[in-house]
Amino acid sequence: MAHEYGITKPKGYNVTFHYNPNMERHHFGQTHPMKPWRLTLTKSLVTSYGMNFAMDNYTARTATYEELTNFHTNDYPTPLDVDNMHPDLKFNLGGSDCPLFEGLYDYCSMSAGSSLDAARKICSKQADIAIAWGGGLHHAKKSEASGFCYINDIVLAILQLLRVYPRVLYIDIDVHHGDGVEEAFLSTDRVMTVSFHKYDPNTFFPGTGALDDNGPRSEHNPGAHHALNIPLNDGITDEQYSSLFESVISRCVEKFRPSAIALQCGADSLAGDRLGKFNLLVEGHSSCVEYCKKLGIPLIMFGGGGYTPRNVARAWAYETAVAIGQDKNIPHKIPEHTPWRERFRQDTLLPTIEQILGEPRQNRNPEKKLRDIVQHVTEQLRFVSH
């Protein structure tokens, strides 16, 4: 079974994979869209292709209370420990989006622990690319849960990176606005945040992230102009998305000169997602990872949203292959011995839009709108130089 597809370590760079097998045992509730077992499905594809032979694999630690409070307030993580009877109606805990469930505190500290481990491997230069699919929970605030997120593992990981790297570029391709990460770094010029998302303030969560929302623009705020938002409409295609991504990110890299990149790979931007509304295929989604990898800047990759588990697993497994430079080599037929293989519906790693949706969703993103976005970004970046 080992090396079945001839997968070996990449030459000249190192990839680390941070995973905690206990995370997926947690349940948000019967019909809640967030299914931690999508991580099992992802891991199952990664190992059945033999990708583990090309990376350093780590069982992620759980983050400590002290680590969690590097961003969150001291009184916030404790009520997450619902097993010790702390249920609390403050902090937006216990609603339908952020329910209190058995083992919640452990789940959160595993997610944060894997992202922190990944960040530390980047800091110590033991990894050029570090992967933490259990992280990416971008909505959590300092002392508030929001949108299925309780602890902001991304903010914690970026704070870790900032100990070593002068500037971090945060990129968020989840279909939702990365509001928690944006808010955490609004007042610093050491972190630039860029979120691509569906934007409709009246009907789509969280309703923030308009094009001209670039943070407080006071003279005394060094973080001014360092928050970028790319609001999109339903049905955007691979071609439009990846060309927009390259236009925006190339300009950010040129002006901001990041010393590390943190990429949130939320898979709810894929076609056929239970919550998302785009027409992206794994090819388009992963082209963003490929682009970031080619920049040759230390890269940390997080998971995030993704509510059709079989497609989440496809995307994150394929993006793991991109990270190790094996995406062109692995067969597109899902290996026969893959655990849970029957869950994938089709036996291909890269289904077509017709296989996923039948009929593609109507595209409501005119080219003119996308050009205006690039124009606005270019104008914002005139204020940025490092």
- Which positions are annotated as active-site residues? 139
Candidate list 36, 258, 305, 309; residue touching Zn ion; CB under 5 A: 305
Q: Which residue is nearest to ligand ZL4 (CB)?
A: 305
> Residue 77 or residue 276: which is nearer to Ca ion going by CB?
276
Candidate list 197, 226, 293, 314; residue touching Ca ion; CB under 5 A: 197
Strand partners, 384: none
Euclidean distance between CA atoms 318 and 304, whole angstroms: 16
Q: Using a CB cutoff of 8 Å and minimum separation of 24, what contacts does 99-102 make?
A: 99/28, 99/29, 99/32, 101/26, 101/27, 101/28, 101/29, 102/26, 102/27
306 binds Zn ion (CB under 5 A): no
- Please count the other Cβ atoms lying within 10 Å of the Cβ belonging to residue 20: 22
Q: How far is the CB of 161 from ligand ZL4 (least distance, A)?
A: 21
Q: Where on the chain is the footprint of ligand ZL4 (CB under 6 A)?
A: 29, 31-33, 96-97, 137-139, 147-149, 174, 176, 205, 266, 268, 275, 304-305
* Partner in contact with 32, chosen from Ca ion, ligand ZL4, Zn ion, none, beta carbon below 5 to 8 Å by kind: ligand ZL4
> Residue 41 or residue 334: which is nearer to ligand ZL4 going by CB?
41
179 binds Zn ion (CB under 5 A): no
The token pair that represents 265 in the structure block: 């790979």
- Please count the other Cβ atoms lying within 10 Å of the Cβ belonging to residue 227: 24
Under a CB-based contact definition with an 8 Å cutoff, are residues 177 and 199 in contact? yes
47 binds Ca ion (CB under 5 A): no
What does DSSP assign to residue 335?
P
> Residue 209 or residue 325: which is nearer to Ca ion going by CB?
209
Q: How far is the CB of 225 from ligand ZL4 (least distance, A)?
A: 24
174 binds Ca ion (CB under 5 A): yes
Residue with tokens 């990759």: 301
121 binds Zn ion (CB under 5 A): no
C-alpha distances out from residue 119 to 136, 137, 324, Å: 13, 15, 18
Euclidean distance between CA atoms 31 and 28, whole angstroms: 8
109 binds Ca ion (CB under 5 A): no
C-alpha distances out from residue 268 to 89, 131, 196, 310, Å: 29, 18, 12, 12
Q: How far is the CB of 40 from ligand ZL4 (least distance, A)?
A: 17
* Partner in contact with 327, chosen from ligand ZL4, Ca ion, Zn ion, none, beta carbon below 5 to 8 Å by kind: none
Q: How far is the CB of 177 from Zn ion (least distance, A)?
A: 9
> Residue 229 or residue 308: which is nearer to Ca ion going by CB?
229
